[in-house]
Amino acid sequence: MKIQRMLIIKVHAFLACLIMPMAALYFVGGALYSSDIKGDIDKQVYEIPLESPFVPELARLSALARAALDQRDLLPPRGQASIAEKKGSYEYRWGDLKRLVVIQPTSDPLQVELTYRERSPLAQVMRVHRAEAGPLVRIFSIGMAIALLVILGSGVFLALGIPKLRRTAMLSLGAGVLILLSIFV
């Protein structure tokens, strides 16, 4: 079966155009993160009294979180709430890309600590960059990584297939391998 050069060019171009905006977000986010520019997070902590001792029940803690946020005129997150066991205790988490609510028990069984975080746009970019923005972004990130490998592989294939570019492409590919190896040596 003969490889269709035009099909490879079309796939290469389509994937490059499709993932370019998200890839730019990742590259800019990575550059800012490596420069220790991470954005701001407004963190507020409240002690919330309970009518009965703390029990890790999702419905009860969700109602408590909603009531506490309403009472303080804070916007609720849009994500799904969950309870996880953490360090021998339980932690309620409810968040999305912009906001996070965490409820943890305190030493007093009739009181919990509610932490409310609101992230700046730059802090939101960092969460996307680190694939902490939920399962949909995580799946898209994996798809983007695969697409980038296809784009790069098809670019190498196309460059090696053009006689005038073959030598430069092989030298560049060799230099890239040497740079990669120098990182691990």
The per-residue pLDDT for range 50-76, each reduced to its tens digit, is 999 988 999 999 999 999 999 999 999
User: Has residue 168 got a pLDDT over 90?
Assistant: yes
pLDDT at 97: 87
When pLDDT is cut at 50, 70 and 90, the band that residue 115 belongs to is very high
Among the listed residues 103, 116, 109, the one whose alpha carbon sits nearest the alpha carbon of residue 60 = 103
Sign of CA dihedral 167, 173, 176, 177: negative
The distance of Cα 135 from the centroid of its chain, to the nearest Å, equals 9
pLDDT at 92: 95
Mean pLDDT for the stretch of residues 21-29: 88
Tokens 């694939």: give the residue: 131
Contact indicator for 161, 33 with CB cutoff of 8 Å? no
Contact indicator for 98, 134 with CB cutoff of 8 Å? no
When pLDDT is cut at 50, 70 and 90, the band that residue 33 belongs to is confident
Domains along the chain? 5-37+128-184 (no CATH), 41-119 (3.30.160)
Q: Tell me the two tokens of residue 33.
A: 């993160």
pLDDT at 1: 58
Mean pLDDT for the stretch of residues 40-52: 95
Helix (H, G, I), strand (E, B) or coil at 61: helix
Q: How far apart are CA 152 and CA 39, in angstroms?
A: 31
- DSSP assignment letter at 52: S
